[in-house]
Structure 1
């Protein structure tokens, strides 16, 4: 009816042949209303789409806000955990360059099974700025510190204590930066131990990158033993190395070595040159570069990187067979030999290249004149040809503790021969005589 009424109205208003007039009269019913209905439908569909996808975007936004690079609180948590997602030259495990952080190095607790990524598990940050150090002076090279094209060593004061700055040269390439920061993360991941030098911090925000390690007054044990030999030549001897002192210091090194083994870490470079001595004659095991290389190249068999290390290595290492913790026990026996002889090289009359054949014939270290039977029996128990017949670390520590109780603490060890540095280089197996200061 309405349609008929509308048509009739249009017929009344417009002439039968006036099409334009008829279209204007039917504009609202034919064009405007359908258009409004179409717009309403589109708006309704749009609203439904918004309602459908809005929760997903909200969840995505929440996840984005929880990403460590967007949330400061989560980033703080991330600093206290492993960072397996980091990759690239400037992002070894445990260091996040996107946070522009200084690596926290005060580690109070470390997982027993350290993953190959070696991420640190710090409890508080001790990151340092370059302005933290004063009285910085170059550290003279000694026999135990070989020149390094990428790292310089300095003495400095920090927080009223003496420290050593292991500084990466600014000419280092990306690979060397990766190695330097990776080594810092590795040492941090090992955690604190009373007989490992304390790692006080790492500067990683801006060059020069550096590791900060406590300084031990008497430096390396080999140099200390040589000074004992020289001091003992006089009437007064400020350096007093007794058999009891050997048992004490050896027990401290063995404790550190047992701890490293508990972290699934083989040291690989045990010797007097790798032990540092404090002012109170506390011995701390260092020289962890070989251990870091073993950890980062775990698939490769044990090898001797330098000829000068051969006389300290177990037969299985010399023959490039798979090596384990017992190799460190062998080297520990050589360390005892160095201590009781005040720094003599082992197997002095055997060329390093002939040592393996010498040992294969059943030969072994001779008993030094200054060595007691009890101490020599420990040396032999460490340096047994068969690895399964050497001391375990727990047996070794227990034997050292028992020996310390009855050891002579009064008689100072004396060696009649003065140190001949060139002779030492030859007998220790060094290929050439480096121009080091003997400090």
Structure 2
């Protein structure tokens, strides 16, 4: 009996000791595990801070130019490593508008026009994002004679950023030079505020307004014929292609080819304008977040937010041909603007208009190939258009009986009514 009792006491004591050991182990775990977690967190935080500080130091040590960003270069599009006269470079050291103008104006010396040679009589024709746009006259030539010009004035008060952008646009025109199918710069006044940019005046207006007027029963107005034939469509189209080819040679693309961005003269000379997108990509490497282009004119790669390139302009050129042959109808009239990508992804394109020949429609379809590499170059399109123009009808006038209602057009085209009000005005 004593042995059994002794055995029981020993087992009881061992059991109690085991519980005590277990409790003590749990207490150690409660203290040690959180301590390890906090330590690991502090180590991780220290590593993150070290990496951040190292990155900041490397960025400060790397030279950068304000307004120039890395550009995703598309296939077939390269940018030269050094272009001493082509880039729009804004100095970082300038801290005021006055000092900035003193630093940049000398490079524009050949373009400066004395302000007393610009008439104070201004006819406002548009309210732009940078300021008002006027028609006026300036004295030029020898002997001096007045010349009609379009004056873009930078709105006031203007901060350093607005002045830099406006001066950059002038420098961009200087870099482009002159081409018979681009609206060219006549001069500027930038030695002090207010800043002026003087552009060629194509008084007849934009092509879209011209096409709408062709729908009316009007033979002539101010010496300009308001009839359009198939052959004349090819004539205007070829001039636009020459302008696009010129831009491509300078490693630029337009980005918004449309009838609203083409000005027309009395002899049906076409002038491509609306180079804001081309400037932004040239100066900054990308479009600004606020820059929008109507969806129905965009190539699929642009709708998919891929890198923009030359062949996107070719797609838009096909839309331009559609606009001309329909005398200014909105593209994809049966498709809501927000559904255009899904429409194209299903392999659909616009049907041939009744006023469009099969030859012209085949040219359009070649522009609307989904693959960029499958679309023709401006040079190839020029050759096809020249060949088609030889047999094109130059007698039958394109006719569309319905007049355009701007509000309805804007809704179908997916653009604002206000943007339609900008023409140099021929209506």
Query: Would you say same fold, with TM above 0.5?
Result: yes
Where 1:265 maps in the other structure, the secondary structure is coil
Residue 323 of structure 2 is matched in structure 1 by 338
Residue 378 of structure 1 is matched in structure 2 by 363
1:364 matches 2:349: yes
Residue 161 of structure 1 is matched in structure 2 by 147
Where 2:402 maps in the other structure, the secondary structure is coil
CA contact (8 A) 1:333 1:378 kept: yes
**Aligned partner of 1:203 among 177, 189, 207:** 189
CA contact (8 A) 2:101 2:191 kept: no
Change (3 A) 1:135 1:303: closer
Where 1:290 maps in the other structure, the secondary structure is helix
- The RMSD of aligned alpha carbons is 3.0
CA distance in 2, matches of 1:289, 1:148: 12
Residue 399 of structure 2 is matched in structure 1 by 414
What is the Cα deviation at residue 202 of structure 1? 1.4
CA distance in 1, matches of 2:104, 2:348: 57
Where 1:139 maps in the other structure, the secondary structure is strand
User: Following superposition of structure 1 onto structure 2, how do residues 283-432 of structure 1 map, counting pairs within 5 Å?
Assistant: 283-298=270-285, 300=286, 305-306=291-292, 309-430=294-415
Map Cα deviations across residues 302-359 of structure 1 (whole Å, 9 max, x no partner): 98932x5111000000010122110000011111111111111111121111100000
CA contact (8 A) 2:173 2:184 kept: no
What is the Cα deviation at residue 405 of structure 1? 1.6
Quick one: higher RCO (CA 8 Å, sep 6+), 1 or 2?
Answer: 2
1:103 matches 2:108: yes
CA distance in 1, matches of 2:237, 2:136: 29
CA distance in 2, matches of 1:223, 1:304: 26
CA contact (8 A) 2:207 2:259 kept: yes
Change (3 A) 1:98 1:342: same
CA contact (8 A) 2:247 2:253 kept: yes
CA contact (8 A) 1:151 1:169 kept: yes
Residue 66 of structure 1 is matched in structure 2 by none
CA distance in 1, matches of 2:296, 2:268: 26
Q: Normalising by the residue count of structure 1, what TM-score does the alignment of the two structures yield?
A: 0.69
Residue 275 of structure 1 is matched in structure 2 by 262
Map Cα deviations across residues 125-176 of structure 1 (whole Å, 9 max, x no partner): 23112211226323333xxxxx434311111112322110011112222111
CA contact (8 A) 1:348 1:427 kept: yes
CA contact (8 A) 2:125 2:135 kept: no
Q: Normalising by the residue count of structure 2, what TM-score does the alignment of the two structures yield?
A: 0.71
Larger radius of gyration: 1
CA distance in 1, matches of 2:228, 2:412: 23
CA distance in 1, matches of 2:218, 2:299: 32
Map Cα deviations across residues 46-72 of structure 1 (whole Å, 9 max, x no partner): xxxxxxxxxxxxxxxxxxxxxxxxxxx
What is the Cα deviation at residue 91 of structure 1? 10
**Aligned partner of 1:245 among 232, 235, 247:** 232
CA contact (8 A) 2:330 2:412 kept: yes
**Aligned partner of 1:151 among 131, 140, 144:** 131
CA contact (8 A) 1:243 1:340 kept: yes
User: What is the aligned residue count?
Assistant: 331
Change (3 A) 1:243 1:89: farther
Map Cα deviations across residues 200-244 of structure 1 (whole Å, 9 max, x no partner): 11111112111111101211111111111124599xx94011111
CA distance in 1, matches of 2:259, 2:420: 19
CA distance in 1, matches of 2:258, 2:88: 34
Change (3 A) 1:382 1:88: farther
CA distance in 2, matches of 1:82, 1:429: 34
CA distance in 1, matches of 2:288, 2:156: 32
